[in-house]
Structure 1
Amino acid sequence: MLRLVTLDVTNTLLKFSRPPGEQYAAIGQLYGLNANPKKLSEAFRIIFKKHEKEVPFYGASSIGWQNWWLNVVADTFRKADCPADDDTLKKVGYHLNKHFSHGGAYELIDGSIPLLTRLQSKSLKIGAVSNFDERLDSILIQLGIKHYFDFVLTSYSLNCAKPDPKIFNKALELAGNKIKPSEALHIGDDIHCDYLGARECGWQSILVSKNVRDLCQENGLKPDASSMFISLREVLPILDDSTVPKDIRT
């Protein structure tokens, strides 16, 4: 019996309203920086992964998320070949921290509201479990979906990230009612952090990504029509089936 459903947030329920590089470039221009948006987007992907590895969980146990993002912003502009002094980069960083604290920097992915509404109608416990910093609560409120969730759990608050079992175990604890792993379902777009991470903790899981086949091929998995979908709307009929899909690893 399904009693708990948790959802990843970034690229599952919401996405950037414009590519990060475009938003960085627009704010940078306010401070006299003329950076190429495409170069910024490419640089952002590289720098984000670098800082995520070197200072995990957005600096939760060290420099804090504000300083973590200030460093990401500065290094992103530098890598995108946009010269600027440290003071200017810090000002841009503070502005971008505020910018990405507001709902306007994001938009809901198609199918988010129908999915959340269906889950709520089934009287399930619903949680958001995301590798995100402490701004997530406010962003969900501004996007009009915070009320769907019984709890919001971030990697920043717990100082660990998916696919660490600690975050899935904490979700069970927050849900209460002694819910077992086999009674929980996690939905997300990342094959390691969401799909396999949940299954390795005894949960059910669903992968939602436009690149399902490519992800399976890259990770030695067989595509499974019962637990892998290209859109949230495709998930709706599956919610009436609470059985655990078979292990699809090769």
Structure 2
Amino acid sequence: MLRLITLDMTNTILKFRKPPGEQYAAVAKLYGLDSDPLKLTQAFRLSFKQLEHEAPNFGVGGIGWQKWWLGVVRRTFTSAGCCADSSSLDTIGHHLIRHFSGGNAYELFEGSTTLLEDIRGRGVVLGAISNSDERLEGILLHLGVRHYFDFVLTSYAAKVAKPDPRIFQQALSCAGNNITSSEALHIGDDLQRDYLAAQRCGWQSVLVSSKLHQVCREAGVTVDDASMVTCLTDLHSLLDRYTTS
């Protein structure tokens, strides 16, 4: 029987309202800087990966998450061919940090609230485990779902990011009540960081992806069909298997 269920956040229960490039372009336009949203989206992905490699986990223990994101913003606009000085890009960057601190930049996937209500009704501890910075709490509050969670654990607060097993160990501590790994289930969209990482820690896990078989095939990994769903609405019947004696 399960006593703890944890959920990944980004691309599992919440997503960007619009692609990052479109949101970057809209904010930049407020400061008189015209830019191509498509180029910005492509540059954002590259810049994010570069900073993730150079200063992992949003710069925790080093430059810190705000400077980390200012670096992403500067590289994104520069790589997209935008002509703006460093001071202007920092002004835009600070605006974007505020913008992505609330609910206006994000929205819930269809079925998220119903799923959260279902899990709460099963009498288990519900937590969030997310590779994100400390703004996540505020985002969940703005989206009206923070109250469903008994705890929210970000990689920035944990000082380790998925798939590191230490973040799952910290989640067990946050849950309390002497819950063990065999009594925990993690649900997420990333094969390596969510599904396999949780299993390596002795947890049960479920993969949620609209491209399940493609993801597994490309990774050369075989996943039990009973532990995969393509959308959140499919989770309700699957959870019966874990929580019903």
Letter in 1 for 2:28: G
Query: CA separation in 1, counterparts of 2:134 and 2:8?
Result: 15
CA-to-aligned-CA distance 1:24-80 (integer Å, 9 cap, x gap): 000011112111100000010111011011101111211111111111001000001
Once the two structures are overlaid, the 10-residue window that deviates more, 31-40 or 126-135, is 31-40
Query: CA separation in 1, counterparts of 2:27 and 2:182?
Result: 46
Partner residue of 2:50? 50
CA-to-aligned-CA distance 1:124-180 (integer Å, 9 cap, x gap): 000000000000001101101000100000011011100100000000011011111
State the Cα distance separating 1:83 from its structure 2 match: 1.4
Letter in 1 for 2:79: K
Matches within 5 A, 1:32-181: 32-181=32-181
Q: Give the length in aligned residue pairs.
A: 243
Query: CA separation in 2, counterparts of 1:162 and 1:137?
Result: 18
State the Cα distance separating 1:222 from its structure 2 match: 2.9
* CA 226–139 in structure 1, closer or farther in 2 if over 3 Å, else same: same
State the Cα distance separating 1:221 from its structure 2 match: 2.1
State the Cα distance separating 1:118 from its structure 2 match: 0.6
Query: CA separation in 2, counterparts of 1:169 and 1:76?
Result: 35
Query: CA separation in 1, counterparts of 2:154 and 2:53?
Result: 17
CA-to-aligned-CA distance 1:193-221 (integer Å, 9 cap, x gap): 00000000000000001111111101112
Could you list the runs of 5+ residues in structure 2 that have no partner in the other structure? none
Partner residue of 1:186? 186
State the Cα distance separating 1:223 from its structure 2 match: 4.7
Query: CA separation in 2, counterparts of 1:111 and 1:205?
Result: 19
Partner residue of 1:248? none
Is 1:241 the counterpart of 2:241? The answer is: yes
Query: CA separation in 1, counterparts of 2:196 and 2:224?
Result: 13
CA contact (8 A) 1:40 1:76 kept: yes
CA contact (8 A) 1:212 1:223 kept: no
Q: For residue 242 of structure 2, give the secondary structure of its aligned residue in structure 1.
A: coil
State the Cα distance separating 1:187 from its structure 2 match: 0.3
Query: CA separation in 1, counterparts of 2:242 and 2:208?
Result: 17
Query: CA separation in 2, counterparts of 1:212 and 1:33?
Result: 40
Query: CA separation in 2, counterparts of 1:109 and 1:53?
Result: 29
State the Cα distance separating 1:225 from its structure 2 match: 2.3
Query: CA separation in 2, counterparts of 1:224 and 1:60?
Result: 35
Query: CA separation in 2, counterparts of 1:111 and 1:146?
Result: 16
State the Cα distance separating 1:227 from its structure 2 match: 0.7
Greater fraction of residues in helix: 2
Letter in 1 for 2:102: H
Letter in 2 for 1:113: T
Query: CA separation in 2, counterparts of 1:159 and 1:47?
Result: 21
Letter in 1 for 2:15: K
Compute the TM-score of the two structures, normalised by the length of structure 1.
0.95
Is 1:218 the counterpart of 2:218? The answer is: yes
Partner residue of 1:8? 8
Q: Percent identity?
A: 55
Q: For residue 225 of structure 2, give the secondary structure of its aligned residue in structure 1.
A: coil
Q: For residue 187 of structure 1, give the secondary structure of its aligned residue in structure 2.
A: strand
CA contact (8 A) 1:130 1:153 kept: yes
